[in-house]
Structure 1
Amino acid sequence: MRPSIVHMTISLSAVHVFTDDPDASLAFYRDALGLELRNEVANDGFRWLTLSTAEQPEVEIVLSQPHAGRSQEDGDALAAMLAKGELPGLLFRASDLDAAFEKVQASGNAEILQEPTDQFWGVRDAAFRDPAGNMVRISQA
């Protein structure tokens, strides 16, 4: 006798992004990229913020500090990787890449790594570093 098959769904709910300056990162993700602040929590001298897009309110970006909830040693290791720009970045998709690029560039709080470019793998995208040094890429939808 075969066991009954249970239908299960799974979906992405949150992605963590480290920041050494929550206010600068909030300004970038909210003001330059247009994400909406959903929650802000302070705990033990640290804070984390959750943001999401209007189009995908169920998927949150959690901005948190490297030392929050970690040992000094682990926090130091994450902070060092963040400072070197070695942590995984974020990939966004925009309906108008050029407009998104112009908005980020005008914000003045992102390092431009690549202007909108047609890539050989068929995507048109741009790349930045957020105020904490995380790589952020935006592709044309």
Structure 2
Amino acid sequence: MAIKIQYAFLPQTDPEAALAFYRDTLGFEVRKDVGYEGMRWLTVGPPDQPETSIVLYPPAAEPGITDDERRTILELIAKGSYGALTLSTDDLDGLFDRLVAGGAEVLQEPTDQPYGVRDCAFRDPTGNLLRIDQV
């Protein structure tokens, strides 16, 4: 029995900014763009990995949460303390330069970590933490 990751979910609070970042800066392809009641769900992913996608969803759409909980979630997202994703690339410096040129918020420049990984860190336009490892 094989188990694969099909979708990962990250909140987005501005679909146009999310598209600009994930499609235009990272180079992901848009697989779905679904609107409903003034909200928008975007499904994106690397062109060479059609079986793995990231769903960028509106956090206001969470069912069963109170208005206070929704406000707390939005506060955590704004701090960069809610969503996180780790990506990998074979050209960390090139991708870092492309993200900087695209205006991404740098949290950590490419660094050789003492535990054997070379990585960097950014925030997407919503505030989600993105770490990128060199493979």
- TM-score above 0.5, yes or no: yes
Change (3 A) 1:27 1:99: same
* Residue matched to 2:52: 59
* Residue matched to 2:84: 89
Identity of aligned residues (%): 47
Unpaired stretches in structure 1, ≥5 consecutive residues: 1-7
TM-score (norm 2): 0.92
CA separation in 2, counterparts of 1:19 and 1:76?
A: 14
Q: Deviations over 1:56-82 (max 9, x none)?
A: 111110011110243452432321210
Within the candidate set 120, 125, 128, 1:126 is matched to: 120
Paired residue type of 1:100: L
Instruction: Decide whether the 8 Å contact of 2:11 with 2:83 is kept in 1.
Output: no
Tell me whether 1:100 sits opposite 2:95 in the alignment: yes
Query: Aligned residue pairs: how many?
Result: 133
Q: Which residues in structure 2 correspond to 1:14-29 (within 5 Å)? A: 14-29=7-22
* Residue matched to 1:35: 28
3-state SS, counterpart of residue 131 of structure 2:
strand
Tell me whether 1:75 sits opposite 2:73 in the alignment: no
Paired residue type of 1:52: G
Change (3 A) 1:92 1:39: same
CA separation in 2, counterparts of 1:65 and 1:76?
A: 13
3-state SS, counterpart of residue 133 of structure 2:
strand
Paired residue type of 2:82: L
Within the candidate set 86, 89, 105, 1:111 is matched to: 105
Paired residue type of 2:72: A
Unpaired stretches in structure 2, ≥5 consecutive residues: none
Q: Deviations over 1:69-116 (max 9, x none)?
A: 4345243232121012111311000110000000000001x2101111
Tell me the C-alpha RMSD between the 2 structures. Answer: 1.3
Residue 9 of structure 1: CA displacement?
Answer: 2.3
Instruction: Decide whether the 8 Å contact of 2:44 with 2:54 is kept in 1.
Output: yes
